[in-house]
Chains A and B, each alone.
Chain A
Amino acid sequence: NAGVTQTPKFQVLKTGQSMTLQCAQDMNHEYMSWYRQDPGMGLRLIHYSVGAGITDQGEVPNGYNVSRSTTEDFPLRLLSAAPSQTSVYFCASNRELTDTQYFGPGTRLTVL
């Protein structure tokens, strides 16, 4: 099993550009989440999903969209990138509610 995969690993955007961060898992987990990690802070939840077709907002959802058309994939879309979205983004999946989360390797995003 590959576990949780994320692409790309690094990305540089200009302010106002849009892009999609990809996340996929092959563990047949129902629950998936997106976090951002900024220096000196823990992970903050952006959006999460409890199954295909079901998504909800986390702590810092503004400026981000998600969809969950399949169990495996959970892409995160930045609609109009801002410098405040410069961060490291992690995708995670888990089998049961608030159970062990399996994290991807992260995407380091810089917005100029």
Chain B
Amino acid sequence: SQQGEEDPQALSIQEGENATMNCSYKTSINNLQWYRQNSGRGLVHLILIRSNEREKHSGRLRVTLDTSKKSSSLLITASRAADTASYFCATDADDYKLSFGAGTTVTVRA
């Protein structure tokens, strides 16, 4: 069963706008990760945030984690056409295993 669920399922924005997507999970975690998948490709790791961290930045990406609400958000600022992709959160539901959500599909319009 999936531990994490992304919301919304799909998002369409204009180039230059910000995109925000959320991930909710069910059980306690050690860390939460976000991945990007371009159409027809493998997943690429974006950012990892540990349970004792509340916010993390990487370039135009900002990830927050609220362990009390069991949720995380990924913000992409100043979006570009190249940001068009599916974004997945993954949590370490138990040892050795990552559990992925169904993803948010982001379309950036020129």
Contact = CB atoms under 8 A, between A and B. Distances in A.
Question: Does B associate with A?
Answer: yes
Interface of A: 4, 31, 33, 35, 40-45, 48, 50, 56, 58-59, 90, 92, 97-106
A90 B43 contact: yes
B15 interface: no
B100 A42 contact: yes
Interface string B73-101: 00000000000000010101001111111
A97 B102 CA distance: 22
Contact of A106 (B30, B42, B98, B99): B42
A111 to B, nearest CB: 19
Nearest to B47: A100
Given A43-B100, A104-B42, 8 more contacts: A31-B96, A33-B98, A35-B100, A45-B99, A101-B90, A103-B43, A103-B44, A106-B40
A102 B92 CA distance: 15
